Homo-oligomer: A and B are copies of this chain.
Amino acid sequence: MIDKHFPVGSMNWPDGTAPVACVDVGGTKVAVSIADTQGLRGRVAEPTIKQGERGALALQVIRLIGQSCESAGIGTDSLAAVGVASCGPFALHRGMVELAAPNICGGLAGQGRGLPNGWLTALLEEPLRLAFPAVRVENDGIAALEAERRWGALQLNGLPLANCAYVTWSTGIGMGLCVDGRVLRGKNGNAGHAGHLFVSDNDEALCGCGNVGDVEALVAGNAIARRFGQVGFADSAALFAAHYAGDALAKVIVDELCRVMGRALYNLIVTLDLQRISIGGSVYWHHRELLLPKLRSGVQGKLPALTDGCELVSAGLGAQVGDFGALALVV
């Protein structure tokens, strides 16, 4: 399923359907595309705004939607809906989603992360609802899960799998979970925050959420820079470049990252009895040929009654899974 080209036409988009905006809010960047009968187009992206007022990020999203419409040659007033796939966790205020995301809100971790704001939450849904007629905001893991079940790697014979997960290995670690045919939400819609699992006793790494040594603190894109910058790997690109060049230390580090991530995937399987996990995200996607076999070997052979019938695959929607995740929320 790796590298499959995915044309928007294969979604059977009905003629005459009004365009929708697809918004992907991550810890590193915000991306907006327009989807209509001509496909996914007009993509614009910027680094995620993390300073100013608590509404700054929502205003950035509104501005980028305008730019994306302009680039696609449509008016913003022709948009039928806006789908927003965002990193979490979410907090609900007056029924509207705000972000309590440690990679964005500097007021959450309380120390050491250097974010230039003191936000406990960032506004998101309420300003968008004032600007657009129909808005749906979901966790990006859930959005990508829905896209992968409809159009990507989490299908069997054209039908969505009943027991599956989507895992993003990116700036942070996010997940969407589906058991017995239903996407899990939980008491505040925050099910799937399993990037904050503890799977190891490593106590050197501080997570943005305040945890010490959870999975995101150990292996996420932003963790690689923080943990291994001082040994010469300024970011994940530098680490993997060194690995491909045969650097022994880089190989040890990549193996340890995969050990931790493999344990997180295994933990999902034994908790939920899954059939398949689809993996994407910027860290994973660029190095999937290296990483997938290592992740598989971290799961294989452990508790075969649960793992034997579960496969790990790369996201069928590839690097576009974030855009399609937002799209899945509104079509």
Give me the interface of A with B, judged by CB distance under 8 Å. Answer: 89-91, 100, 162-163, 177, 179-180, 182, 184-194, 196-202, 209-211, 263, 266-268, 270-275, 301-303, 305-306, 309-310
Contact = CB atoms under 8 A, between A and B. Distances in A.
Contacts of A266: 198
A90 B306 CA distance: 10
A273 B306 contact: no
Contact of A197 (B191, B211, B270, B275): B270
B275 A198 contact: no
A182 B183 CA distance: 11
Nearest to A121: B305
B191 A272 contact: yes
B303 A210 contact: yes
B197 A89 contact: no
Contacts of A267: 194, 197-198, 267, 271
A94 B191 CA distance: 34
Contacts of A209: 303, 305
A271 B306 contact: no
A190 B179 CA distance: 11
Contacts of A302: 196, 210-211
Contact of A305 (B89, B177, B191, B272): B89
Given A182-B182, A193-B270, A270-B196, A187 B275 contact: yes
A186 B303 CA distance: 15
Given A302-B211, A309-B187, A194 B273 contact: no
A303 B271 contact: no
Contacts of A268: 271
Given A89-B306, A191-B179, A274 B198 contact: no
A180 B180 contact: no
